[in-house]
Amino acid sequence: MKYFAHIVMSLAVLAACLTGCDTRPAAGTSFSVEVNVDSVLHRQCATLWTIDDDYQRLRCLGTDSVKDGEKFSFNGVLDCRQVAFIQFAADSIPFYFVLEPGTHTVINITPSHWRIDGSRACYSYIHFLNQRQHITDDMKKTWKAYRHMAADSTLKRRHEVMFFRHDSLLLDSLQRITVERINRGDLVSRIVRERFINTLDSAHLSQIRPHTPSPIIECP
């Protein structure tokens, strides 16, 4: 009987311990992002940002200086899937992708292409605007000038290599980001409004309006 009572008491203590444990998931799950940049591009630092759900605030997840010749790395904790972007300078063209908890994302950048593995990626919004073939030749000239000015705008039209999978969160966010920028009146927004608003067809305008379905973006 003593032996039986001892077993019962042990089980009761174990049950009490389990009841007192907090089994709720931890506030956030770790992630890692690795950015490999061709040394000819001479990138000295990179910053990883996420965009809040209301598209009004940016959250910096860290800035890293180049190491091992051409590599940047970011590690942190994330609560949920969010639209993120990598930026090399304040005036550079962002590269948007979906950052997910518990993932390891690798981005490889050369003078001719970006390649991303382990996540869902899309063109930065200037590429998004530049997809339509109905945009005039002036857009090409402006795009060339903007590429020359921007610190990380090394992509060449019709030479991008990107693995793109349809992701509604990313596409919806890009639409919202585009509308926010057009309303805010920054450099590229003025380009769109002043030079090309009359050349954009209805299909393209539907892409940059929020809350409207958007097709998968394909490389030209």
Tokens of 23: 């089994």
Q: Can you give the pLDDT at residue 75?
A: 92
Burial 88-108 (b: 16+ CB within 10 A, else e): beeebbbbbbbbbeebebebb
114 contacts: CB under 8 Å, gap ≥ 6 = 95, 107, 108, 121, 155, 160, 161, 162
Neighbours of 214 (CB within 10 A): 17
Distance CA 116, CA 170 (A): 15
pLDDT (tens, 9 = 90+) of the chain, 220 residues, equals 544 443 334 434 333 333 333 333 344 688 889 888 877 667 778 888 887 665 556 788 888 887 655 788 899 988 887 778 787 776 566 677 778 888 888 888 776 666 666 655 544 434 444 444 333 344 445 445 444 443 333 333 333 323 233 445 555 555 555 555 445 444 444 544 454 444 444 333 333 333 333 333 333 3
β pairing state of 29-37 and 104-109: parallel
